[in-house]
């Protein structure tokens, strides 16, 4: 059976709409009472269709009412930041299962979207590295708390990354994550669709998160 790109696009849009609805519903369930009042009408429409611009409207109203608490905006951003990576995975699956001209067209779309999405992936990898500070078992494989400096393996990964040796970097990282969850986003960094310079950016972003020191406000430097 040939790949029907028109039907696939329709299914993709439907899938994305469902994901958006789910994200909004999850956000509502975790919101405080004041925020829930603003979402009442929004949630009623969730099973049918919720245009994303309604969510933007909600944020604009916050601004107009001088309710510019950064936490409100951070919560909204965090709900949606993973969506781009999910779309990328869908595109990858689609082009790998297509044939002929459809395969070429979908691969071009996948490649373009992946490159546009690179900044989001780098940020996510940095955040993943930062959160690993709370996992002593993994963190102490990269950082010596007593000497307050990175361990030798961290420098080795940096050097292998500088040389562009993806396979060696991958297996070195995999070894350091033995017995622990290996983040799928970190695996994405090794996708051949990304050129060497982006690959290096991804790995350095991850390392800067796990090795950086906290600044005031909880962010690392």
> Taking the domains of the chain in order of start, what are their residue ranges?
5-81, 118-211
Confidence of residue 210 (pLDDT cuts 50, 70, 90): very high
pTM of the predicted structure, to 2 decimals? 0.58
Higher pLDDT, 2 or 105: 105
Mean pLDDT (the chain, rounded): 75
Please determine, for residue 151, whether its predicted confidence score (pLDDT) is greater than 80. yes
Q: How confident is the model at residue 49 (pLDDT cuts 50, 70, 90)?
A: very low
Rg from Cα positions in the chain: 21
């Amino acid at each position: 059976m040939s790949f029907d790109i028109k039907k696939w696009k329709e299914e993709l849009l439907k899938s994305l709409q469902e994901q958006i609805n789910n994200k909004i519903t999850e956000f509502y369930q975790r919101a405080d009472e004041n925020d829930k009042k603003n979402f009442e009408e929004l949630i009623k429409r969730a099973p049918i269709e919720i245009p994303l611009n309604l969510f933007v409207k909600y944020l604009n109203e916050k601004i107009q009412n001088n309710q510019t608490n950064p936490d409100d905006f951070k919560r909204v951003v965090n709900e949606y930041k993973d969506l781009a990576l999910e779309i990328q995975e869908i595109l990858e699956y689609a082009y790998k299962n297509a044939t002929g001209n459809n395969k070429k067209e979908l691969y071009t779309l996948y490649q373009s979207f992946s490159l546009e999405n690179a900044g989001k992936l780098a940020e996510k990898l940095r955040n993943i590295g930062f959160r690993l500070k709370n996992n002593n078992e993994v963190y102490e494989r990269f950082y010596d708390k007593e000497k307050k400096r990175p361990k030798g393996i961290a420098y080795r990964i940096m050097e292998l990354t500088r040389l562009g040796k993806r396979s060696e970097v991958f297996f070195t990282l995999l070894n350091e994550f033995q017995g622990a969850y290996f983040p799928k986003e970190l695996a994405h960094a090794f996708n051949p669709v990304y050129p060497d310079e982006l690959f290096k950016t991804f790995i350095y972003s991850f390392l800067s998160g796990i090795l950086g020191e906290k600044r005031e406000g909880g962010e690392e430097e």
